[in-house]
Amino acid sequence: MHPVLATILKRIGLGVLTLFVVSVIIFSAVNMLPGDFGEAVLGQAATEETVAAFRRELGLDQHPVMRYVQWVGGVLQGDLGTSFSGRAASGVDRSRAVVDLVLPRLNNTLFLAAMTAIIAVPLALFLGITAALWRNSFYDKSASALTLTTISFPEFFVAYILILLLGTLYPMFPSLATVQPDMGLGERIYTAVLPALTLTLVIVAHMMRMTRAAIINLLASDYIEMARLKGESPRQVILRHALPNAWAPIATVIAFNLAYLVVGVVVVEVVFVYPGVGQLMVDAVSSRDIPVVQACALFFAATYIILNLIADVIGIVTNPRLLHPR
């Protein structure tokens, strides 16, 4: 078997094992949340017998190991369970499948992540390449200072500053990104500008700094010096010689930041009341809706693991030692 294929299969196996371990952690952590759904629905006036009967109806009286096996088995079949919301002690069941709750929110989250990535990735590459091209110049120092300043602030602080500036003092965009299913593409983009701009300011700094470092490291190579001695312009040196060899570390950094982007939307969605998976997860935690919390946490974990796996595969495929073994 080719070393590249063998290494990729090992990484995939490790990713599956990691996802299994994470699923155990998610199930255990969710079940250790304070409070009880039965008591939250029935109220403090409910008797112990009523609460016990309600828990038995929901299946919460079963052993945790049995509940975990049932949950994982359902996930493998595409069944994330049924939401506890809508259940009542009267016996009337108005609950919905977790998939029906998560999928619309998932589309909104992926739309926000894609919108941010379309802005952040080209911007970070442009800033990183130009900063490396004019290293130690005023432009390089200004770009580095600006990006490091934005990444030093937490997401919610950046979000509130943008709301204050662009939503209140100079109202250009809506402060609440409450997108609706019937919105057109242009209206949806306009409504999501502020949360996308917040995420862009947070992740572009890291990608820009790593791109700059990768280009500068390659500019010190012998073949770059030879290209300069041949009389090639700085632009040709960057585009034709340095950048192609820098794609591996740059692609890895981009994949890592995209993973952080998808997982880190929780705070931003809550601040802007954006109807995504993060907002759904926060609401589910507040109402002790265990199946929804587990599904949202599993989505975030799987997304992070898959994008990190893609970053590993990119690094493996672009490794000359593995591509051309002796």
Number of residues written out for the chain: 326
Tell the CATH topology of 99-286.
Answer: MetI-like fold (1.10.3720)
166-176 tens-digit pLDDT: 888 888 888 88
Q: For residue 1, name the pLDDT band (cuts at 50, 70, 90).
A: low
Q: 247, 234, 252, 270: which is closest to 307 by C-alpha?
A: 252
Task: Say yes or no to pLDDT of 208 above 80.
Answer: yes
Top pLDDT among 202 and 118 is at: 118
> 126 φ, ψ to 5°?
-65, -45
Task: Say yes or no to pLDDT of 303 above 50.
Answer: yes
Q: 109, 20, 11: which is closest to 301 by C-alpha?
A: 20
- Rounded Cα–Cα distance for residues 203 and 151 (Å): 7
Average model confidence (pLDDT) across the chain: 80
120-154 tens-digit pLDDT: 888 888 888 888 878 888 888 888 888 888 878 88
Distances (CA, A) of 95 to 37, 73, 124, 139: 14, 21, 44, 57
Distances (CA, A) of 267 to 121, 198, 226, 282: 21, 11, 49, 9
Exposure string for 216-238, b = 16+ CB within 10 A, e = fewer: bebbeeeebeebeeeeeeeeebb
Measured distance between the N- and C-terminal CA atoms of the chain, rounded to whole angstroms: 14
- Rounded Cα–Cα distance for residues 7 and 322 (Å): 9
Task: Say yes or no to pLDDT of 39 above 60.
Answer: yes
What's the pLDDT score for residue 90? 45
Domain ranges of the chain: 1-96+290-303+312-326, 99-286
Task: Say yes or no to pLDDT of 89 above 50.
Answer: no
Q: How many helices (H) and strands (E) does the chain have?
A: 16, 0
Distances (CA, A) of 287 to 83, 228, 266, 268: 11, 64, 17, 20
The string of DSSP codes covering 75-135 is HHTT---B-STTB-TTS-B---BHHHHHHHHHHHHHHHHHHHHHHHHHHHHHHHHHHHHTT
Q: What is the pTM of this model?
A: 0.79
- Average pLDDT for 18-47: 76
Task: Say yes or no to pLDDT of 88 above 60.
Answer: no
Count other C-beta atoms under 10 Å from residue 20's C-beta.
10
Partners of 87 in beta bridges: 93
